[in-house]
Amino acid sequence: MRNEIRRKHYSRNTEQAYVYWVRQYIFFHQKQHPKELNKEHIEQFLTHLAANKQTSGTTQTQALNALVFLYKQVLKLEVGDLNYLRNVRRFKNIPTVLGKDEVVQLFRKMEGVTKLMAGLLYGAGLRVE
């Protein structure tokens, strides 16, 4: 698998991630060779990641990509359509923002340079992290 990844000039991080996910997949299925496994086994593994390991949608997609690469590029096997597994719902983090009244109250408690800097940051729409 590593040879095929390198032949396609994938990054080292991708190589490490793909090898990791293929190993996890094999161990999940009691060290059976992937040639003996099929689409249903991939579904079981990804369901396990989502339900039992609570992995993010991005992580599940990465694991799926690793397995698709294994089957299509390395083993030269067709496992069927797995695109429906890519539609994992991702939740966006909603930023915490102050309301207009809260901002006014905050500025009323500031003075001098602090108020000036805060006003510039707020007016320019910059984030403080």
Walking along the chain (129 residues) 10 residues at a time, the average pLDDT comes out as 96 97 97 95 93 89 95 92 70 72 93 93 79
User: Is the domain of 78 the same as that of 113?
Assistant: no
Same domain, 34 and 80: yes
Q: Tell me what pLDDT residue 54 has.
A: 87
**Statement to judge: residues 79 and 121 lie in one domain:** no
Residue 79, pLDDT score: 86
Residues 14 and 68 in one domain: yes
- Domain ranges, residue 21: 2-86
Are 124 and 71 within one domain? no
Residue 123 and residue 68 share a domain: no
Which pLDDT value is given to residue 99? 86
Question: Do 100 and 62 belong together in one domain?
Answer: no
Same domain, 61 and 118: no
The pLDDT value given to residue 48: 94
pLDDT value of residue 97: 80
Clarify whether residues 108 and 68 are in a common domain. Answer: no
Residue 93: what pLDDT?
Answer: 62
pLDDT value of residue 126: 76
The verdict on 76 and 111 lying in the same domain is no
Angstrom CA distances, 23 to 20, 32, 36, 45, 79, stand at 5, 11, 15, 12, 18
pLDDT at site 129: 62
Give Dmax (Cα) for the chain: 72
Rounded Cα gap, residues 54 and 45, in angstroms: 12
For the question of whether the overall pTM of this predicted structure is more than 0.75, the answer is: no
**74 shares a domain with 22:** yes
